[in-house]
Amino acid sequence: MKDADWERMLSQALAPAAEPEEELNQSIIRQLQERGRSKPKAKKRLSAGLLAAVLLLVLSVSAYAATRLFSAGQVAEMFGDRLLADAFESKDAVRIERSMASGDYHFTLHGLVTGAGLSEFKHLSEDLYPDRTYAVVSITRQDGKPMPDTDDPEYGKDPFFISPLVKGLKPWEANIFSMNGGYSEDVLDGVMYRLISLDEVEMFADRGVYLAISSGSAFYSSEAFRYDEKTGEIHAREDYPGASLLFELPLDAAKADRDKADAYLDSLSSPSSSHDSGTEEEWIKWMQELRAKIRDGETIGQTVPGSVKEMTYDDSGKIAYAFGERSVTMSPEDLFEEGQIGFSDRRLPISGGIDNTYEAVLFHRDENGVITGRIVILGEGSIPEF
């Protein structure tokens, strides 16, 4: 967002050593929500059901922005996941609020939480691995310029890879994409927020787990990081021209489970789950093609019988859809432009991967303004061989 008023408001919240009052945070959220309703935003969501990987760069670590930006729980709420927002505020969550600078950016890791059934957006991998880890990262520019909004042509031109990496595991083999991960992303007042989720990482707590961030690619890059085959250490490369850094995650080693972790790694290394970086790019291409088909009015899959339901509205004006174990709550402006009729391609949550079956939640608005949600099983012919 580019409004000067908002910049001033955040500047006030960013005052040194001034931890914002909760009232201020709530005030900002309310005004952002009001702004969101008046200006539809296209949240970017990548759901990767893919299976596929110190000289720790000395970076400035400070409390910068940690107390000046939205908390993990507030970000989850803005993405319409009230259940996850509560999880981030629970005693089991780890509030981190640490920042590092690298390349042109300033990154803040706000917090993480791990557990089963924490999100309103269930991933199909939860049938096999119920526990998932969620984390929130925000990104700002060091020169003070705002991050490009999601409807700005510059948005996404400098992509980011954000993923946990485990010491001793090859990072190109064990990362967010191979661990049934995905993310939601949005830009608010010049600050990019990314909410990631993947199979739990706490089981690796005794080995050491990093949150790796790099710019220049949405995928793991050996140009940004170096893996030491002998020690299992992962290093951010100081000579990398873009951003490259590692946050060490403060996981409780008592929650490590070596047997569970070994069994999980065996599943990743099975022939049916092996992937290379090429398939990750294929996945992105597939998602883009699906969105293009929706915009062109094409059918992308078979509707699950009984799943077509009219959305209901809550007191805040948000719409809600629920079918089976899946439920979604969000603002209608997040789905449709003003006056838009037909299917929305803005939000396309996809889950699956088991037996190469994927399903998506689609939203439709008719000429009377009635919004319905439905679940479709994506056509076999449209699914690449991941």
Q: What is the mean pLDDT of residues 60-79?
A: 69
| Range from 104-108, 195-199, 318-322 carrying the lowest mean pLDDT | 318-322
Report the Cα 95 to chain-centroid distance in Å: 17
> Which pLDDT score is estimated for 104?
96
CA distances from 327 to 74, 117, 360 (A): 19, 12, 12
> Which pLDDT score is estimated for 354?
58
Distance CA 76, CA 59 (A): 28
In this prediction, residue 167 has a pLDDT band, given cuts at 50, 70 and 90, of: very high
Q: Which residue from 235, 212, 183 is spatially nearest to 75, judged by alpha carbons?
A: 183
Task: Tell me which range, 93-102, 148-157, 283-292, 360-369, is most confidently predicted by mean pLDDT.
Answer: 93-102
In this prediction, residue 311 has a pLDDT band, given cuts at 50, 70 and 90, of: confident
Q: Which residue from 120, 155, 149, 146 is spatially nearest to 40, judged by alpha carbons?
A: 149
Q: Name the percent of the chain lying above pLDDT 90.
A: 40
- Cβ neighbours of residue 194 closer than 8 Å, sequence gap 6 or more: 136, 137, 138, 139, 160, 162, 183, 184, 185
- Neighbouring C-alpha atoms within 13 Å toward the C-beta of 128: 16
> Which pLDDT score is estimated for 337?
81
Lookup: tokens for 206: 């005794």
| pLDDT of 25 higher than 50 | no
> Which pLDDT score is estimated for 68?
72
3-state secondary structure of 35: helix
In this prediction, residue 32 has a pLDDT band, given cuts at 50, 70 and 90, of: very low
In this prediction, residue 272 has a pLDDT band, given cuts at 50, 70 and 90, of: very low
3-state secondary structure of 37: helix
Kind of pairing between the strands at 358-365 and 342-343: antiparallel
Sign of the Cα torsion 305, 291, 139, 11 reads: negative
